[in-house]
A and B are shown apart, each in its own frame.
Chain A
């Protein structure tokens, strides 16, 4: 039973984390503009997050220490603080996108402008964080988030020419109407949307809090592999649906209401309903996770009590950080920035922030003092180092590409 729960944790993180506002927007935009030619980025991102989530889970299990604890110790208090600032900022921008996603889901159902739904989304998030047992919430989000499988069903029902899809995926070529710079820029944002940093903060803190031990290592591995691969399948099919429906019609994706047309095209009312429920659940789940992540990283840096299982009074500063994060996020949504544009930018910054977290994880996963027999093997180290280099290149390229392409236009 406990194992099953641990696996749920992994799978849910992947739905609320891998497939959230960032993925919904970026997969739609990518498919519509670049067809299947950027699917390889999702594959690259999936391997990266599978490797590093498994390491973070293993570190949390054996050393009883969540990611940010390790970050401060390995980078020292100064770099740790800079990292904290950057991660906090990236989380807040991500939170803006997620809250906007929740509010737009309400708008699409009711027709009332999403600004008015922001306070409701805020109160709902606050209520769940404050009052609802986390496991219950996790299960609800996980099960209802599965409605996003509508993308997989839609892709299959579209009966694409699979050999051509495979060809475009495996031998990608940039559409001639797009510049190389925008191809790479959107690729970076897509990468960031698949592995936003908050996922690992959330995942490893959950593992520490639930008191995983050595016997949980296997379920850790299963959940991180299965969970993120599940998320990746959703992402790829979402790209596919956009590529098959929007690209031939020269439709660009600038609104969530456009993305909703994909599943509707194939499955009618049912597809639309499934998408709207999934949109709400995944963005709401991600709102909670990002908010918790901000509480985690600040508390862990300063050594305060933290945890979603503690009552708010037992972790007052942790809860204060979460409330402040939610309020800042909601305030920015209300400044009437275009939510989809904010999402794009958030995902690019997510990509920029990755090495800050991933490097210390790789170092500690090799520390025999903590890890004992369960430290990284040689093969894993080589592979993980190669991917770390890839992450660093992506992070370094992100901002110049952003300026060069004028935000990808």
Chain B
């Protein structure tokens, strides 16, 4: 019975996150992840720039920030659970993408905290600091 349950669990996990079989499949998953993550950072940045420029009402910008933070968290979660093929290239790619995602996520959190404290310039500053990661992620998305 236990074995049956265990195999069910394995099957369920496997069906949630499709495994990547070779380097190029893994790379294309990484590229998609990088693209979505870069988009989330840029969207949040645009929202804050507009907020600073026009003095927008709080709620729509707050919604936009949480949508993008959720998106970033979701792509990071999905990518980290993809099983990479056993090659150095894939391991390196995985590590560099995850590092970038980690850094981007923490900048995004800083931005959200500052925004909710009413400090839009600080929030924008936090996301400006995420710009290098966004550039690198975008470069990865283009490369693969």
Q: Per the CB under 8 Å rule, do A and B touch in the complex? A: yes
**How far, in angstroms, from A272 to B46 measured CA to CA in the complex?**
14
Interface size class of B (residues with CB under 8 A): 20 to 34
**How far, in angstroms, from A108 to B62 measured CA to CA in the complex?**
8
In the complex, identify which listed stretch (B4-12, B37-45, B86-94, B119-127) lies at the interface while the others stay far away.
B37-45
Write 18 A-B pairs (CB below 8 A) sorted by A numbering: A177-B142, A249-B46, A250-B138, A250-B141, A254-B39, A255-B71, A257-B47, A257-B63, A258-B67, A260-B64, A261-B43, A261-B47, A261-B50, A261-B64, A264-B54, A264-B60, A269-B57, A409-B32
CB pair B56 A250 closer than 8 Å = no
CB pair A269 B55 closer than 8 Å = yes
Chain A residues near B43: list those with CB within 8 A: 251, 258, 261
CB pair B60 A276 closer than 8 Å = yes
The interface centre, meaning the residue of B55, B57, B142 with most chain A CB atoms within 10 A of its CB, is B57
Closest to B45 in A: A249
**How far, in angstroms, from A354 to B32 measured CA to CA in the complex?**
32
**How far, in angstroms, from A108 to B38 measured CA to CA in the complex?**
23
**How far, in angstroms, from A260 to B56 measured CA to CA in the complex?**
12
CB pair A264 B50 closer than 8 Å = yes
Mark out the residues of chain B between 14 and 72 whose CB falls within 8 Å of any chain A CB in the assembled complex: 32, 35-36, 38-39, 42-43, 46-47, 50, 53-60, 62-64, 67-68, 71
The interface centre, meaning the residue of B42, B46, B142 with most chain A CB atoms within 10 A of its CB, is B46
**How far, in angstroms, from A249 to B64 measured CA to CA in the complex?**
16
Chain A residues near B67: list those with CB within 8 A: 254-255, 257-258
CB pair B56 A272 closer than 8 Å = yes
- Chain A contact residue count (CB 8 A cutoff): 24
- Contact (A265, B60) CB under 8 Å given A252-B39, A258-B67: no
Whether A107 is near chain B, meaning CB under 8 Å from some CB there, is: yes
The interface centre, meaning the residue of A109, A111, A177, A250 with most chain B CB atoms within 10 A of its CB, is A250
Number of contacts between A and B (CB, 8 Å)? 70
**How far, in angstroms, from A107 to B66 measured CA to CA in the complex?**
12
CB pair B60 A272 closer than 8 Å = yes
- Contact (A250, B50) CB under 8 Å given A108-B59, A109-B60, A257-B60: no
Whether A336 is near chain B, meaning CB under 8 Å from some CB there, is: no
- Contact (A258, B64) CB under 8 Å given A249-B46, A251-B39: yes
Shortest Cβ gap from B81 to chain A (Å): 17
Contact with B along A223-243 (1 / 0, CB 8 A): 000000000000000000000
CB pair A254 B71 closer than 8 Å = yes
**How far, in angstroms, from A409 to B58 measured CA to CA in the complex?**
32
Chain A residues near B142: list those with CB within 8 A: 177
**How far, in angstroms, from A396 to B133 measured CA to CA in the complex?**
42
Closest to B55 in A: A269
The interface centre, meaning the residue of B36, B47, B60 with most chain A CB atoms within 10 A of its CB, is B60
CB pair A250 B63 closer than 8 Å = no
**How far, in angstroms, from A195 to B25 measured CA to CA in the complex?**
36
**How far, in angstroms, from A258 to B38 measured CA to CA in the complex?**
14
